[in-house]
Structure 1
Amino acid sequence: MSINCRIRKPAYNSRHARLLVSVRCTSFFHRLHKYIIANSRVKVYFAHPYSPWERPTNENTNGLIRNYFPKGTDFNLLSKKNIFEVQNQINERPRKTLEYESPLNTVSRLYMNQNFI
């Protein structure tokens, strides 16, 4: 059995004080989401296909990535070091949705306080 699934990195939603995970997936997560919900504090959200307004943080992050890598960039030609540098810059950038805290600081703080999942 092959599984075609993309899991987005968790995003902390400070307004509701909980962790949100958005997934785009085949029936794999449709079968497992009840298990995930029952065994963690993670809320699973299934966005509708071709509905980017349902994934604003994902769309914003795609835009940030495009600032560094134009559409059509062949990532096979980039070094891992270059990709990690950009990843770190994006993760250290403050976000309005995180009350102007960086994703890295938010996740670190939650992990240290054990309020993570």
Structure 2
Amino acid sequence: MMGGVATNFRKAYEDYSGENLYMLKTMQIVPGWTYIYLNNGYRIDLIIQMKGLEGYSLEQCYKLAGIAEIDDVKVPFLHINHLIANKKAVNRPKDQIDVIELERIKKILEEDAAGPQKL
């Protein structure tokens, strides 16, 4: 895992759980196979890069991320445009279905942001 990201994640996880994940400093992150479980049962998949987002840094993605509050914890999640780009790049059958639904959601969000239309 990247140095600064690993250090920040280890600190946040230690603050949350009381455990120090010292092995994150040197462990190899394998997408889909590297994850941890939180005390509340939520699973967090660890990834260091995502297809379709190669041109973006973690900081750029974070700046545009939405925030959800889960069990009184603020959790950032990818901007819908980034998620669509990732799903298109991965292009598995389930991702293709996700793209259709995400684009529907994006259209609704854009219409809501535009406000009511005058006739």
Relative to the length of structure 1, the TM-score reads 0.28
The answer to which structure, 1 or 2, has the higher relative contact order (CA under 8 A, 6+ apart) is 1
Larger radius of gyration: 2
